[in-house]
């Protein structure tokens, strides 16, 4: 692999310079006080890890299901495949998505195209994520005998979910592109963090007690996660 392409993002919250690799590419996060010239040496220092991670994303995309964002295409939803019925309308101002059985009826403004369909579907998946995750999260927290502050649906580049020290539970809407068992696993993972904030042996023991096949689900997410995109 030749020169690694990357973008730079300045952060007021970052304490140290770091490299993030996602399906969107490579990004260097720099605190405000760190000079821009630090980015290139950091990427070179992390080159072996970056290249391995990029290869894993490429392999996952090749092995994953083909998603066609057009009329007659399909998209994944919690282990099922939903067909797309796309209609392009002159004069339409806002996209609209409605599920009818195993079909998503998508109306977008002219001239349409995959980007317009993707934007409309992302909005629909975000709304569905709140509806799907909310009750599951409430049940998991109740079983664990804990509590949380609020639920947030996000579009993180490199995380599937997080649990803040204040009790805010954040989940990536792309989890709805995975099988139902994977979504349930990620929810249980974050609920376990309410009791154990780190990834210590105690944390994994607690999570495995609640989800006996934790290792298998974690391996699936690592291997297939990069392909969970529209």
Indicate the pLDDT class of residue 66, thresholds 50, 70 and 90. low
What pLDDT does residue 230 have? 85
Domain layout of the chain by residue ranges? 7-63, 74-227
pLDDT tops 70 at residue 78: yes
d(CA 14, CA 150): 24
For the residues 121-150, what does the mean pLDDT come to?
Answer: 96
Work out the mean pLDDT of the chain and round it to a whole number. Answer: 92
**Residue 166 banded pLDDT, cuts 50, 70, 90:** confident
Q: Domain spanning 74-227: which CATH class is it, in words?
A: alpha beta
For residue 27, is pLDDT > 90?
yes
Minimum mean pLDDT range among 40-54, 57-71, 108-122, 191-205: 57-71
Mean pLDDT of 24-41: 92
Q: Looking at residue 55, what is its pLDDT?
A: 85
Let me know how long the chain is: 230
pLDDT at 104 over 70: yes
- Going by pLDDT thresholds of 50, 70 and 90, the confidence category of residue 180 is very high
- Whether the predicted pLDDT of 192 surpasses 60: yes
């Amino acid at each position: 692999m030749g020169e690694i392409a990357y973008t730079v993002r300045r952060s007021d919250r970052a304490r140290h310079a770091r490299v993030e690799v996602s399906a969107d590419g490579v990004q260097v996060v720099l605190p405000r006080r760190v000079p821009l010239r630090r980015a290139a040496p950091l990427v070179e220092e992390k080159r072996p890890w970056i290249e391995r991670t990029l290869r894993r994303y490429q392999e996952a995309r090749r092995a994953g299901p083909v998603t066609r964002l057009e009329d007659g295409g399909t998209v994944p939803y919690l282990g099922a495949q939903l067909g797309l019925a796309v209609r392009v309308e002159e004069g339409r101002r806002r996209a609209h998505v409605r599920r009818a059985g195993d079909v998503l009826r998508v109306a977008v403004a002219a001239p349409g195209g995959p980007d317009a369909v993707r934007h409309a579907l992302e909005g629909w998946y975000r709304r569905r994520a709140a509806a799907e995750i909310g009750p599951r999260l409430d049940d998991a927290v109740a079983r664990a005998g804990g509590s949380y502050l609020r639920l947030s649906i996000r579009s993180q580049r490199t995380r599937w979910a997080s649990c803040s020290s204040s009790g805010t539970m954040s989940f990536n809407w792309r989890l709805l592109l995975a099988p139902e068992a994977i979504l349930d696993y990620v929810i249980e993972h974050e609920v376990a963090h309410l009791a154990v904030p780190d990834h210590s042996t105690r944390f994994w023991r607690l999570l495995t007690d609640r989800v006996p096949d934790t290792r298998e689900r974690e391996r699936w997410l690592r291997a297939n996660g990069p392909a969970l995109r529209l």
